Amino acid sequence: MMNTLVKILFNKKLIVALAKFFLRVQVKGLDNIKDLQDKVLFVANHNSFIDALLLWAFIPEELCFTINPIVAKKWYVKPLLNIAKFFQIEPNNPMAVKSMIREVNNGHKIVIYPEGRVTSTGSMMKIYPGPAMIADKTNAQIVPIYIDGTQYTIFSYYRNKVKIKPRTKVVLNIFKPTKLNIDKDLKGEERKKEITKQLFDIMTNAKYYSASDDKTLFESLIEAKNFAGRRFKVVEDIARKPINYGQLLTAAFVLGKQFTKHSKQKEKVGFLMPNAAASVVAVFGMQAYSIVPCMLNFSTGTKNMISCCKTAAIKTVYTSKQFVVKGGFTDLIKTMEDEGLQIIYLEDLKKEITLQEKLTGLFASFFPKYYYNKIKGDVSVEEPAVILFTSGSEGVPKGVALSHRNIQANLNQIRAVLFFDVQDKFFMALPIFHSFGFTCGMVLPVTSCIKVFFYPTTLHYKIIPELIYDTNSTITFTTPTFFSGYGKSAHAYDFYSIRIAVVGAERVKEETVKSLFTNFGISLLEGYGATETAPVLSVNTPMYHKKGSVGRIFPGIQMRLDEVPGIKDGKKLVVKGRNVMLGYIKSDKPGVIQPLEDGWYDTGDIVSVDKDNFITIKGRAKRFAKIAGEMVSLTAVEEMITALWPTYQHAVVAIPDEKKGEQLILFTTRPNTTFSEISAAFKAQGSSDLFVPKKIKVLEEMIIMGNGKVDYVTLVQKATELFS
């Protein structure tokens, strides 16, 4: 009687109808499983207790499911055992794996969850080797399925962390069958690790390709508001007055309207603002009305600032009177005005706002999608969302045009490999004119329903650790130099809440890694990227990391390694992907975006890639000197000197030399450093005299730019003046 009732209630057509109504279930990729051959293994992420029910109802195949014996005893799961075939297995039970291998060889189409349990984070968790071993032993096709949306239902562990909606949208993403590609000579534990890694990559790719990048940044803001609710406090700064999504949308619509009185849609305008809540409002105010902010680097100096404005054909610059006065930029503003730029202050715009405009913005914040579609114009996701500028570390800054799709793709890549939670809190001191700060520090948390605290400068080494402690921040993105500085001033408990610390923009010193782990228990996750790639290309993760590397290349990115004449240890990295920029804006054609040839971006970095696809940076192609016919890596020389005196800062540049082509110049903060002690140390290591800098200049402080990178342009100029 009970079995009959279960079969009536769990009729496929009835389940499909109910699921479509309550969960708005959508299935993508059914065509990918039309012509399945024998020996098929479906692998899916596991968000909730109804995943199996949905797969059984919506996939037109006779599926067999695996289930944990503990879960099988749940009262709400038992009815499902009567309508489909289930195998009760322990994730690490070798006998269970053998039985699965037998079933796959017998032609059963099995669905298995590599995580072995329902996620408690809302994202993918640890991958067990069992499913990969089954595919390896049977040579079965793997059909990846990424389920999105069920983690936000009452049937998930994640339900207590997010706002559950009556009609959650669920998508079943089915991908083309693939197979593991394992070296036949790989045996034992090494083989197990390799097949597990490949299965993890398959699932990571499925997660990335399931996420849409076909939306503008403002549409992502609206989606975040719809998910978390308008009262979710998302942005805070040193004023300690957090603003919620409702306030952010209202202010963006109101302020954005003021921008349209001075700037046209799709016009490129200068943006000269610090890390502050007002800056977030202003950026998204421009996004709402399809005005393109050009993020000006106020630490780069007047000459480069004017150069950036001319390069991007900027006519109008938006800034704040308070920021100009406190930052000491009065002379800069005067120079800009002398160059014909129109300076508009946000304080003046605020005075011009009418009551009607305030009420319109408030009303629009309750219906943001409707209002945005009305005001945005014909903007495309392939058009520029922002113009950033290269650091100028190797010459005059160039404009980098990043489209909405470029940034969205990079956000999806980051989310595919790093786990973020709505209960996380970002601490961001990196400036938003920096690509790292713009994408990772502002857009990522604001569009991911994660509260972010903005601090206006990276250089307050004593204040920032205290604020990280005070705000209970769990995530920070910065540079190794800055984090090292924070560590020297911090109390042992200041970083207690930090669970993810990503560093990039420069190489991490071994001393920094040891110090932060020993003193604070923080494992730095070194990443790598470029402004031109929106910006992140790779990052070490808690699951896959390797000392000395910058992680593994992101999903969705093609990688090419080109030979460089004279350089034996490494090749030049060239990449292509949806996160790679639209193109450069150069001074020879102001305001014109010059696209890349065939979409490939030459990073200019010399790298090596190991068998596990971890990338190790050897140096920049331009950071090699040719001395007596030999190519010498300036980065390698820096690292050797840093190993001698790790508590000091060192930078090596090259200038012309009449006899040997080029000569090395060392800038160091270590007093009384001599040629003879470096030479002796290098000889003891077996290094050639070519690696020893011929001239040394001691500095009180290393010359760095606002983004934490060494200012090599200034150092080369200084070396030329001193030693040519």
pTM: 0.86
> Do the beta carbons of residue 254 and residue 356 sit within 8 Å?
no
> Which residues are annotated as catalytic?
46
Give the pLDDT confidence score for residue 660 in this predicted structure.
65
Tokens of 285: 């105010």
Give the pLDDT confidence score for residue 3 in this predicted structure.
56
> Strand order in 85-88's β-sheet?
26-28, 171-174, 141-148, 40-44, 109-112, 63-67, 85-88
pLDDT digits (tens, 9 = 90+) for 96-139: 777 778 878 888 888 888 887 777 776 777 777 778 888 888 88
Handedness of CA 104, 109, 115, 117 (dihedral sign): negative
pLDDT digits (tens, 9 = 90+) for 530-545: 899 999 999 999 888 8
pLDDT digits (tens, 9 = 90+) for 152-194: 888 877 766 666 666 678 999 999 999 888 888 888 888 888 8
Give the pLDDT confidence score for residue 465 in this predicted structure.
92
Give the pLDDT confidence score for residue 646 in this predicted structure.
84
Distance CA 271, CA 441 (A): 17
Give the pLDDT confidence score for residue 173 in this predicted structure.
94
Give the pLDDT confidence score for residue 120 in this predicted structure.
74
Tokens of 349: 């715009």
Q: How many CB atoms lie within 10 A of CB 629?
A: 9
Tokens of 495: 């970083």
Distance CA 525, CA 513 (A): 10
Q: Which fold has domain 2-210?
A: Glycerol-3-phosphate (1)-acyltransferase (3.40.1130)
- Residue 715's pLDDT band, with cuts at 50, 70 and 90, is confident
Is 60 exceeded by the pLDDT of residue 550? yes
> Do the beta carbons of residue 32 and residue 175 sit within 8 Å?
yes
Residue of 258 and 158 predicted with greater confidence? 258
The residue ranges of every structural domain in the chain are 2-210, 213-234+241-406, 628-723
Give the pLDDT confidence score for residue 90 in this predicted structure.
63
Give the pLDDT confidence score for residue 708 in this predicted structure.
66
Q: Is the peptide bond before 465 cis (omega within 30 degrees of 0)?
A: no
Is 90 exceeded by the pLDDT of residue 385? yes
Distance CA 290, CA 538 (A): 30
Percent of residues, the chain, with pLDDT higher than 90:
40
pLDDT digits (tens, 9 = 90+) for 349-370: 999 999 999 999 999 999 999 9
What radius of gyration, in Å, describes the C-alpha atoms of the chain? 28
Contact residues for 482 (Cβ-Cβ < 8 A; gap 6+): 429, 430, 458, 459, 708
Averaged over 465-469, what is the pLDDT? 93
Give the pLDDT confidence score for residue 577 in this predicted structure.
94
- Residue 548's pLDDT band, with cuts at 50, 70 and 90, is confident
Q: Which fold has domain 213-234+241-406?
A: Rossmann fold (3.40.50)
Is 80 exceeded by the pLDDT of residue 623? no
- Please list the residues that pair with 345 across neighbouring strands: 319
Distance CA 402, CA 381 (A): 10
pLDDT digits (tens, 9 = 90+) for 561-605: 988 777 777 888 999 999 999 999 988 899 999 999 889 999 888
Residue among 603, 263, 278, 270 at smallest CA distance from 442: 278
Q: Is the peptide bond before 535 cis (omega within 30 degrees of 0)?
A: yes
Mean pLDDT of the chain: 86
Contact residues for 648 (Cβ-Cβ < 8 A; gap 6+): 668, 669, 670
> Strand order in 661-668's β-sheet?
650-657, 661-668, 695-698
Residue with tokens 């045009």: 401
Q: Which fold has domain 628-723?
A: GMP Synthetase; Chain A, domain 3 (3.30.300)
Averaged over 436-444, what is the pLDDT? 93
CA angle in degrees (0–180, nearest 5) for 76-81-83? 110
